[in-house]
Amino acid sequence: MNAKAKTDLGEPILVTGGAGYIGSHVVRDLGERGYYPVVLDNLSSGHPEAVLCGELIHGDVADSELVGSILRKFAIRSVMHFAASIQVGESVSQPLKYYENNSFNCLRLIKACLENKVENFIFSSTAAVYGMPEKVPVDEKAPLLPINPYGGSKLVSEMLLRDAAAANPGFHYVALRYFNAAGADRQARLGQDYRQPTHLLTLALKTALGRFPKLEVFGTDYPTPDGTAIRDYIHVDDLAGAHLLALDFLKSDKGSRVFNCGYGIGHSVLDVVAAAKRVTGIDFPVVHAARRPGDPAALVADAGAIGRELGWKPSVPRLDEIVASAWNWEKKLAAGKP
C-alpha cells in the first residue's frame, strides 16, 4: 500500500519502541485520536499484540537505512521515540550498552529525521537526569547531574535534540522527563510485560501471584521517613496523555520544551509494598537487601510547567487505584492472554 493510502487512514506518526510498555499505551491513544501509528520495534522487550492499531514494522532504530525508508514511505512529519534500554542497575554494569543504544541510536534517528524533513520529535526522557536533587519536588530548572549511565545516556540525547533544534529552525522537540510510570490500561488491554521485570510494583504483584518466592526491597537506610527510597508514581494512562498534548504543542509551532511528568506526590518502597498487599489481599514475603548502585533517595516531580503550557490535567489516582489497574493486568497475564 502506498504512502497516500496510508495517510488516508490518518496522519502517520512514527513510534519507535511502540510495542513496549509506555509506547503501546501512546499508540492506543494515537489511534483513538485518528492518527495512524507506524510502530518500529525490535521486540527485544515489546510484544506484537500490544500494538492495538496502526501497523508494526519489526526492525531496529539503529538501522538508519530502514528508518529512512519508513520516513519517506509514510511521509512522516512527527516522531515519538521510546526505544531504549531502561534498567538503572544494568546501566551501571554495562554503561557502553546504554550510551550506544540510548544516545548513539538517538543520534542516528535525529539525523534521519533531519534528512527527511521531520518537523516534530517527542522524546521519552527520565527524571534520572536530575541525579540526587538537593530540592524535592524537582522542577525542570534543577541541575542536571545524573548519577548512573541510564540517566547520563538520556541527558546526552536531550543535548543532541537541543543542539539539532537550534541548528535546524524547522525541527522542534518536546522531551518528557518521566518519573515512575506504573499501572496498566484500565481495560486490562495493555500493561507491563517484560521478560525479566525490574519495576517494583510489577515484581510485588508477581510475587503475590507466586511467580517469585519473595520480594526484595533494596535499601532501608535512605534518609527518608521509613528508610526506603521515595518515588513519584504516575499512572501510565496519564503519562500517555501527556504525549498527545506534546504533539499538539509541537503542531501549534510553539518551539521546543522539556517537561516533567509526575504527580508531585512521593511514595516510599514500603508504601508501594503495603498497597500491593492491600489490593491483592495477599501477604507475600518481603526481604530487605542492600541498596542498588545508582539509586537516589528521593525523586518527586514539580510538574507545574506541563500543566500551565500544555494543559495537562492528570487524573492523579490514589496509589491503590494505580496498583489495582496493574493487578487486573497481572491476573490476566497469569490466566493466559486471549
What are the catalytic residues? Answer: 150
Measure the CA–CA gap between 264 and 248, rounded to whole angstroms: 24
Task: Locate 195 and state its grid cell.
Answer: 521478560
Query: Coil, strand or helix: which one is 123?
Result: strand
Whose cell is 525523586? That residue is 299
Query: Coil, strand or helix: which one is 74?
Result: coil
What is the chain's percent helix, strand, coil content, to nearest 5?
40, 20, 40
Q: How many residues does the chain have?
A: 338
Measure the CA–CA gap between 259 and 307, rounded to whole angstroms: 9
Measure the CA–CA gap between 119 and 140, rounded to whole angstroms: 24
Cα four-point dihedral sign 244, 247, 252, 255:
positive
Q: Could you tell me the maximum CA-CA distance found in the chain, to the nearest angstrom?
A: 59
Element (H, E) at 109: helix 105-115
B/e letters for 141-152, b = 16+ CB within 10 Å, e = fewer, are ebebebbbbbbb
Q: Give the residue from 251, 236, 246 showing the smallest Cα distance to 311.
A: 246
